[in-house]
Amino acid sequence: MMDTKRKKELLEAYKNRHPEMGVISYRCKETGEVFLGISKDTKSDFNSINMKLAANWHPNKRLQELWNKYGSEGFELSVIKVLKYDDPREDHTAKLESLREQCIAADPNARRIWR
C-alpha cells in the first residue's frame, strides 16, 4: 500500500502539472475538411478521440464517416494553437474557445469536432 504522505505528494504533482492546452485539428487529407476541438490536455484528447473513432463511436458523424473511409492514415493530426498559461487549476475554457473560433474564422474548411 502507498502511504498517505506519498499519495498527497503525487496528487499535488498531478494538480500542478502543465499539460499542453490548445486547439487540436483533424484534417482529412482527401477532402481537405478540418475538424477543430479545444483541448486542456492535447495528448490525452488525441488518444481519447482516436479511440472513439477506432471504435466507430464518435458523436461527430461526418468525422466518423471520413475516418471509416480513409482510416487514420487519411488524417493529419496537429495542435494548431497552443495556449500559454500559468495556473493549471484556472479554468481556461473561454480562452480556448476564443482561439478555436479564430481558427475556424481563418479556415473556410474548418468546423468544430464537437457540436
Locus of grid cell 475516418? 67
Element (H, E) at 55: none
- For the chain, the domains span 19-112
- Amino acid 24 reads I
Q: Tell me which of 1.10.490.10, 3.40.1440.10, 3.30.70.260, 3.90.660.10 is the CATH number of domain 19-112.
A: 3.40.1440.10
Q: pTM of this prediction?
A: 0.88
Q: What's the pLDDT at 89? A: 87
Please, what are the averages of pLDDT over each run of 10 residues along the chain (115 residues)? 91 90 98 98 98 98 98 98 94 98 97 89
Q: Is 60 exposed, middle or buried (0-12, 13-18, 19+ CB in 10 A)?
A: buried
